[in-house]
Structure 1
Amino acid sequence: MKKFNLDQPLAQQTISNILKNAETLYSNINVVNNGKRLTTTRYLQLADEVEKFVADMNNNNLPVNRDSILRYVRHIAQMKYRIPEKEISFSSGWLTKLFKRIGVKCSPMHGESASVDISSENIQNELRKIEDLLEPYVPVDIINFGETGLCYQQNTLKSDTLK
């Protein structure tokens, strides 16, 4: 009683209720392995939104990177949850800790060159159109855009995915 500076002892029912609901009471506290202290997450809903966003992007086979996630989270925080802009820094460290909490990792994307069925009629029609367009030119003057070294708005080679 002196240790906790209480005027009177706690009732047995109060102690029982605390022990029974311990899991619920501590559900918003994250324990970091080898961490020095317990930390609470202020905005759990933002972690859920990021997890949904990454899952949706992965399901649609679209690349997602840290910048796109930060833009999305800033937008959601202001528009949906009305969180003041100055309240969260949305720093690189914040995002890294969020990724660690919800299980997002960066993984390389692989090319899709072998995923196209060249024998399909639609592809063959498009190839014929390209041949007709290139017919007036000498083959030496025709180059692949990839050979120029210009990568205009190239997609990222890595994407953030759920573990």
Structure 2
Amino acid sequence: MTVDIKEVSNSNENQITELILNIQKNEFNISISIEDQPDLLAIEDFYISNGGNFFGAFKDDELVGTIALVKFDNNSGAIRKMFVKKEFRGKEFNIAQNLFDVLIDYCHRNGIDNVFLGTVSVLKAAQRFYERNGFEIIEKNQLPDKFPVMGSDDVFFSIKLN
């Protein structure tokens, strides 16, 4: 199975929104709406224009995974919107790892040395994934002042890349 990872933009908003909201609401019962995530309706303004990026994993023309980076300081960024469709998770497909590797490569190429993220405590597999990739859990008060905290996030991670 071939999965292509490529940069996405506003033209992919419908696919991205459908994928992410379905996973958040229907799979993990997280009470969140599109109104709580206006960044999904302004991908280019929110992510790309400030030096971050948004990537999608596509099997044929179907979006099966996403990952994004918000650059919030000269050399710091926040991982956002890492989601993979349930039937495409796991080592067999390796989509999450490939998305993550593309994003970390983007960070290296663009001088982003400090990467942070917030997630929800119910997403245990995601937390294990980040720890396997070298992230360490930090307290919320250890986040940089400019870190864009999402209201539902209650577990935070960081990694220094250089």
Normalised-by-shorter TM-score class = under 0.3
Q: With the length of structure 1 as denominator, give the TM-score of the two structures.
A: 0.23
Q: With the length of structure 2 as denominator, give the TM-score of the two structures.
A: 0.23
Looking at secondary structure, tell me which structure has more helix per residue.
Answer: 1
Higher relative contact order, structure no. (Cα contacts within 8 Å, ≥ 6 residues apart) = 1
Structure (1 or 2) with the larger CA radius of gyration: 1
